[in-house]
Amino acid sequence: MDSALLNRLLFAQTASGKEVDISVVGVSMNPTFYENDTITVKKFDDYEIGDVLVFTYKLGELLVHRLLDKKEGLYFCKGDNSFRLEDISKNQIAGRVIRLNHRPLAPCSKQLITLSYQVNRAFVNCRYDIEKTKQTDVYQLYKTTFLRKRDTIMTYKKNEAMDYIQTDETSLAVFDPETGDTHFFDETGIDILNILNEPCDLEQLLSKLSELYDVAPEVMKADVEEFLADTTEKKVVEVL
């Protein structure tokens, strides 16, 4: 089956609401994704800056790159380990990546988005010379901070822009005034959000939950990571 037919099949499946697993090819999204990783793609009505999108570009090549900016109906994307910025329209997008190797995709920090975009600006200023771009201060900072996987420490905080309505000790409704959506949380969710009244990273959060529940942090880690991925997507929790 040729690539054009595979692309049409992917777009047809995501347009019907299906979640589709595909394999990563190439290194342009290292260290977020690696060759042969499995990513799950789903179509949405719109996409937010920081999302990783799957889209067709130029001669129909399928790319998996991060959305860095939106302007006048165009979506500007770039690989985390790339230099070029691609401008695409919405109809070129098959969907966004929601899971990596069958686990929720962790959110990215605002600093990654800012520095990745600045790397592209440096690339343009260096007349599209990759080697010259790699010598710039901004690329060296980006390389040290993210490409060497030092971006694992992210700080989370409860989003104060939401309306929090707690009816009792075990039930919390969170209303998003921007979208009109309401999200519901049980007692564990309430405890996590109470801790996130103050900014803390994953290790700090797990430590506080460990004290609260008398459970080893490693026992809770996977569930807490999934909670953070879900709540950051819903904007109940912010990545600072």
Pairing relation of β-strands 171-175 and 163-168?
antiparallel
Question: What is the spatial distance between Cα 146 and Cα 112, in angstroms, rounded to a whole number?
Answer: 7
SS3 category, 232: helix
DSSP state of 145: I
Q: Which CATH architecture has domain 3-104?
A: Ribbon (2.10)
Closest CA to 112 of 156, 72, 67: 67
pTM for the predicted model, two decimal places: 0.70
What's the DSSP call for residue 201? E
Amino acid making up residue 167: T
Q: Which CATH number fits domain 155-239: 3.30.420.40, 3.40.1010.10, 3.90.930.60, 1.10.390.10?
A: 3.90.930.60
For each of the chain's 240 residues, which pLDDT tens digit applies? 468 888 999 999 999 999 999 999 999 999 999 999 999 999 999 999 999 999 999 888 999 999 999 999 999 999 999 999 999 999 999 999 999 999 888 888 888 898 899 999 999 999 999 999 999 988 988 888 788 754 456 788 999 999 999 988 899 999 999 999 999 999 999 999 999 999 998 889 999 999 999 999 999 988 898 898 789 878 899 887
